[in-house]
Amino acid sequence: MKKNEQGARRAVEGADACEGAGADAKSSLTRRGLMGAAATMGLPALAAGMLAGCQPAGKSAEDASGADAADAGDAATQAAAAPGNSQGPTASAVLNPQDPDFRSNTIQDFSKTTLFSPLKWGSRTLANRMIKASANSGTIVSTMRGPAVYNIDATVEYYRMLAQNGIGAIILEDKAWKLPHIDETGNPKQQQWWNEIGLERVVEAVHETDTPVLIQLASADYRWSNTPEKGTVCMASELSDQDIANLIADYVTASQNMQSLGFDGVEINAAANNSGAYFLSRHRNDRDLDDPYGPATLENRARLVTEAVRGIKEACGADFHVQVLINGVEDNDASIGQSTKASTVEEVAAMAKLIEAAGADSLHLRLGVYGIHEAQFVNDAYFGGYGIDGTSGYGTFFDFSKHFGGILDASHSGCGLMLNAAAKVKGAVSIPVGAVTFMDPAHAPDFFEQALAGGKVDFLMINRAAGYADYEYVSKLKDGRVDEIRSCCRCLHCVGDFGNHTGVNESCRMNPAHGRAFGEEMPEGFKVPAGDGQKKVVVGGGGPAGMEAARVCAERGYDVTLFEKSSSLGGLLDFAHTVKEPHENLDRARSYLSHMLDVTGVNVVTGQEADAAAVQAENPDVVFVATGGLRPSMSLQGTQATPVVGIVDAMFLDDCERVLIAGFNAQALDLAWYLLA
Ligand code: SF4
């Protein structure tokens, strides 16, 4: 029962639009958490063949016309794959077929690429096409909670480090504490401390390298005059006329305040659950048709944003950069098939022209989905692997060729998903256009270089790859040291506090400093500190933990020997890569970790267990034991006909028809998905 044939595993036939399989299955948004939720709702259905045969839920008369085109194709796919259909699954039934070759790298000199060419960006010129996107950047997890817990030292050093490593520009994260009239739901007014937390120190640190730095103006999830007590869905009608006037005035006041601190500009967040998006999107703009901010015309929908841009420019001057973040193209992930009111990319392009005419200097595009907020910028939620690209997280699936107007190329596991939408918007305006959705040029160098050189997009908005996983990403890439880049594995542990629901982001799975530096665990900060003299270190085990320990010790200047009893390094990474498929880049993690042992001069001994004799022969000062954990044994003995095996061996069983998995933890679900897909 080996299941390594990629083609077979991609054939999740006709699973699109199956609302009945768990419409409210949203859960913690690590990929594992998401898949766990989907598994809880969908696994029994998948096992019973229900997903393959389910039909789209009925649509309201209001929404029927726009969704028909998409659902007709989905229904045909479902019919082809339905149980009992004599045709069975066909090539056309493969959901979101993937291009396995898109990660090629033929670039000889990155410094001569379009990626590293300058870009006129408002009144400034960027050194390259990579901009650190605004996000809750892990190191400053408490910045939003108030001045008493704002770790300004960490924030200053974090952004200084990114600027020194060559990022083209930086956009700081935000909450609405700068907007005088609105507050985060349930919190006391906080805007008074905008000038008390030392943000000017961040600006000074970034400006040491002449790197432009903006700050985002967000306004998501706030209560307005007409917001119901419960169940708000962020609709434009929640704002009274006075709320609108106050909000526009707040954008201007906040921009003036940030300008006084030295910021080069602001980014108005008018995407997702931010108030500007309530108006731009017909899905959220439920104001009266004769309302000047209502949905009747594109001008009316864009009016709040255009008035804010004009106001900021008039107050702060033409050189003060205004970037506007909007949904690039929309679809309804929470209720697939109910997307009649979603903004098409043509509408977005037309509104982008209006925003440009108001004075905006650049545009930043996100994926416009209504359910999973984070999927707007980390669309990994839709590319969960396990042979199912297009998982929505609600127990449903996108066939990307039939959603978002069919404009999104989903054949790269979500990497660069927004590029085609960016190209469409870019064709309508003359200001630079950038986009998010795993814009990681080290991951797929030729792919992104062609997108930039071909004019699909002007700049790449990056957060995880260059802002979390490897702070030296840009400088390493420019030098062509791609093998030395610690790649983001797209696990989503760093996104929000979805893993632990404590209000504190999880740290990065690949970069242990992220989320820990300047905290109790790593008070020394981001950089590996020098060692305290010549020491001999032995590491037992060549899995990821052992390799990382060896690298850090070697970087501290110690003499390090690593023993691995098998013939190659990697430990369980090969196994994990096989289960999870290419999406999580665990093959890159393995090659990075082993390559860095060469770079840092670790003495690697494979085929040798770190037994007492081997360790004593090294006469070490310190020994790291990184030989992996032990699984609890079970009382089941098994028979020849029905063996009892561990999870790794289960991958390689032949001739099994029925498998019983004991346990319901994440690994058990991983295996179940793998065996079923
Ligand atoms: S590897 Fe790090 S940056 Fe990438 S998704 Fe995981 S936690 Fe986030």
* 141, 515 Cβ separation under 8 angstroms: yes
* Token representation of residue 430: 């003359």
Mean pLDDT taken over the chain: 81
CA–CA separation, 436 and 455 (whole Å): 16
Residue nearest to atom 6 of ligand 1 (CA): 491
How many Cα atoms within 13 Å fall on the side-chain side of residue 670?
17
Is 489 touching ligand 1 by the criterion CB < 6 Å? Answer: yes
pLDDT digits (tens, 9 = 90+) for 439-451: 999 999 999 999 9
CB 135 less than 6 A from any atom of ligand 1? no
Q: Which atom of ligand 1 is nearest to the CA of 468?
A: 3
Q: Is 510 in the pocket of ligand 1 (CB under 6 A)?
A: yes
Establish if 312 belongs to a structural domain.
Answer: yes
Listed in sequence order, the DSSP H helices in 262-365 are 275-280, 298-316, 345-358
Q: Look-up: residue for tokens 């649509």?
A: 59
Question: Looking at the domain assignment, is residue 615 inside a domain?
Answer: yes
Mutational test site, ligand 1, from 162, 489, 514, max ligand atoms within 8 Å of CB:
489
The predicted-structure confidence for 233-271, as pLDDT tens digits, reads as follows: 689 999 999 999 999 998 999 999 999 999 999 999 999
Same domain, 256 and 341: yes
DSSP state for residue 430 in the 8-state scheme: S
Give 491's pLDDT tier (boundaries 50, 70, 90).
Answer: confident
DSSP, collapsed to helix, strand or coil, labels residue 255 as helix
Q: How confident is the model at residue 49, as a pLDDT? A: 30
Number of domains comprising the chain: 4
Instruction: Please name the residues in contact with 488: beta carbons below 8 A apart, sequence gap of 6 or more.
Output: 438, 440, 464, 465, 468, 469, 510, 585
Q: Residue range 455-475: average pLDDT? A: 96
The residue contributing the CA closest to ligand 1 atom 8 is 494
Of the candidates 138, 161, 34, the residue with the CA atom closest to the CA atom of residue 508: 138
One domain for residues 262 and 383: yes
Contact in structure between 555 and 600 (CB atoms under 8 Å): yes
Query: Which protein residue has the closest C-alpha to ligand 1 atom 4?
Result: 488
390, 269: one domain: yes
Strands 559-564 and 536-540, sheet pairing: parallel
Domain contains 102: no
Closest CA to 330 of 416, 393, 267, 272: 272
Predicted confidence at residue 81, as pLDDT, reads 34
Residues in the chain: 677
At 453, the pLDDT band (50, 70, 90 cuts) reads very high
For residue 304, pLDDT over 80 is answered with yes
What is the distance in A from the centroid of ligand 1 to the CA of 488? 5
DSSP string for 69-127: HHHHHHHHHHHHHSTT-TT-S-GGGSSS---TTTT----S-GGGSSTTS-EEETTEEES
Q: Worst-scoring range by mean pLDDT, 43-52, 291-300, 306-315, 501-510?
A: 43-52
Is the shortest distance between the CB of 490 and ligand 1 below 6 Å? Answer: yes
Residue type, 568: S
**Where is average pLDDT lowest: 3-7, 224-228, 662-666?**
3-7
From CA 25, how far away is CA 28, in angstroms rounded? 10
Q: Is 494 in the pocket of ligand 1 (CB under 6 A)?
A: yes
Distance (Å) from CA 507 to ligand 1 centroid: 8
pLDDT at residue 619 greater than cutoff 50? yes
Does 442 lie in the same domain as 371? yes
CA count, 13 A, side-chain hemisphere, 454: 12
Does position 567 have pLDDT exceeding 70, yes or no?
Answer: yes
* Residue 462 within a domain: yes
Please compute, for residue 283, the number of CA atoms within 13 A of its CA located in the half-sphere on the CB side: 29
- Do 237 and 378 lie in one domain? The reply is yes
Q: Is residue 529 part of a domain?
A: no
Q: Which of 509, 514, 580, 583 for mutating ligand 1's site (highest number of atoms within 8 Å of CB)?
A: 509
pLDDT at 177: 61
Lowest mean pLDDT segment, chosen from 347-351, 547-551, 585-589, 654-658? 654-658
Residues whose CB is less than 8 angstroms from the CB of residue 207 and which lie 6 or more positions away in sequence, other chains included: 213, 262
Q: Whose CA is nearest to atom 2 of ligand 1?
A: 508
Q: Is residue 469 part of a domain?
A: yes
Asked whether residue 12 carries a pLDDT value surpassing 50, the answer given is no
Ligand 1 centre from 487 Cα, in Å? 9
Q: Which amino acid is residue 152, in one-letter code?
A: I
Same domain, 82 and 188: no
Asked whether residue 429 falls in the same domain as residue 565, the answer is no
pLDDT-wise least confident of 298-302, 386-390, 528-532? 386-390
Q: Looking at 43, 59, 93, which one is the last position of a domain?
A: 93
- In the predicted model, is pLDDT for residue 621 greater than 80? yes
pLDDT classification of 404: cutoffs 50, 70, 90: very high
Which has the closest alpha carbon to 572: 663, 674, 662, 647?
Answer: 647
Asked whether 277 lines ligand 1 (CB < 6 A), one says no
Query: Residue 443's closest CA among 463, 407, 419, 416?
Result: 416
Q: Which two tokens stand for residue 73?
A: 């194709």
pLDDT (0 to 100) of residue 368: 94
- Taking the centre of ligand 1 as the mean of its atom positions, its distance from the CA of residue 393, in whole angstroms, is 19
> What is d(CA 22, CA 19) in angstroms, rounded to the nearest whole number?
6
To test the pocket of ligand 1, the residue of 491, 585, 593 to mutate (highest count of ligand atoms within 8 Å of its CB) is 491
**Is the same domain home to 77 and 116?**
no
- Domain boundary (39, 66, 93) is at 93
Please report the pLDDT score of residue 141 as a whole number. Answer: 40
Domain that holds residue 673: 632-677
Ligand 1 centroid–CA 369 distance in Å is 21
Residue, of 374 and 121, whose pLDDT is higher: 121
Residue 53: per-residue pLDDT: 24
Whose tokens are 């080290």? That residue is 442
Distance 468 CA to ligand 1 centre (A): 7
Is 477 within 8 Å of 110 (Cβ atoms)?
yes
> What does the DSSP 8-state code read for residue 344?
P
Give, in order, the Cα–Cα distances in Å from 179 to each of 97, 363, 497, 501.
Answer: 45, 22, 24, 26
Residue 69's Cβ-count burial label (10 Å; 0-12, 13-18, 19+) is: exposed
- Inform me whether the pLDDT recorded for 190 exceeds 60: no
Verify whether ligand 1 is closer than 6 Å to residue 492 (CB atom): yes
- Report the DSSP beta bridge partners of residue 126: 119
Torsion angles phi and psi, residue 633, rounded to 5: -80, 155
Same domain, 652 and 603: no
Same domain, 642 and 615: no
- 212/501 Cα distance (integer angstroms): 34
Q: Please report the ipTM that was assigned to this predicted complex.
A: 1.00
Percentage, residues of the chain above pLDDT 90: 53
Which residue has the least CA distance to atom 3 on ligand 1? 464
CA dihedral 294, 296, 299, 303 (to 10 degrees): 0
Place of tokens 């996000």: 135
Highest mean pLDDT among 62-76, 125-139, 550-564: 550-564
pLDDT mean over 411-440:
96
CA 511 to ligand 1 center in whole angstroms: 8
For residues 56, 57, 63 and 64, what is the CA-based torsion angle, rounded to 10 degrees?
A: 60
List, in order, residues 6 or more apart from 669 with CB less than 8 Å away.
Answer: 35, 36, 39, 43
- Residue partners of 599: CB distance under 8 A and separation at least 6: 484
CA of 8 to the centre of ligand 1 (A): 29
CA atoms 408, 411, 415, 416: torsion sign? negative
Among 68, 93, 118, give the residue marking a domain's end: 93
User: What is the domain-level CATH number for residue 591?
Assistant: 3.40.50.720
| 241-260 and 298-316 helices, crossing angle to 10° | 30
- What H or E segment, with its residue span, contains residue 495? none
Q: From ligand 1's centre to the CA of 471, what distance in Å?
A: 12
With CA atoms as reference, report the closest residue to 238 among 219, 220, 224. Answer: 224
Token pair in block for residue 328: 């690039």
Please say if the pLDDT value at position 593 is more than 60. yes
pLDDT, tens digit, 9 for 90 and up, residues 126-167: 999 999 998 865 444 444 444 455 678 888 999 999 999 999
In a domain, 387, yes or no: yes
**386 phi and psi, to 5 degrees?**
55, 30
Q: Quick one: tokens of 676?
A: 């079923």
Whether residue 26 has its Cβ less than 6 Å from ligand 1: no
- 526 vs 124, which has greater pLDDT? 124
Distance between Cα 164 and ligand 1 center (Å): 22
Q: CB–CB of 563/609 below 8 Å?
A: yes
Amino acid sitting at position 623 = V
Work out the end-to-end distance of the chain between its first and last CA atoms, rounded to an integer number of angstroms: 12
What is the Å distance from ligand 1's center to 508 Cα?
5
Distance CA 674, CA 677 (A): 5
Q: Which of 374, 510, 514, 588 to mutate to test the pocket of ligand 1 (most atoms within 8 A of CB)?
A: 510
Assess whether the C-beta atom of 161 lies below 6 angstroms from ligand 1: no
Which ligand 1 atom is at minimum distance from the Cα of 495?
Answer: 8
Question: What is the domain-level CATH number for residue 132?
Answer: 3.20.20.70
Instruction: Please check whether residues 422 and 445 belong to one and the same domain.
Output: yes
Measured by CA distance, the residue closest to atom 7 of ligand 1 is: 508
Q: What sign for the dihedral angle of Cα 381, 387, 390, 396? A: negative
Would you state the pLDDT for residue 137? 56
pLDDT band at 187 (very low <50, low <70, confident <90, very high): very low
How confident is the model at residue 239, as a pLDDT? 92
The CA 626 to ligand 1 mean position distance, Å, reads 22
Q: What is the predicted pLDDT for the residue at 329?
A: 97
Residue 38 lies in a domain: yes
Residues in CB range of 133: below 8 A, 6 or more apart:
171, 364, 377, 436, 461, 462, 463, 467
Q: How far apart are CA 100 and CA 476, in angstroms?
A: 25
CA of 544 to the centre of ligand 1 (A): 15
CA 285 to CA 233: how far, in whole Å? 11
Distance from the alpha carbon of residue 506 to the mean position of ligand 1, in angstroms: 9
Mark whether 294 and 407 lie in a shared domain: yes
Q: What are the distances in angstroms from CA 585 to CA 576, 579, 600? A: 10, 12, 22
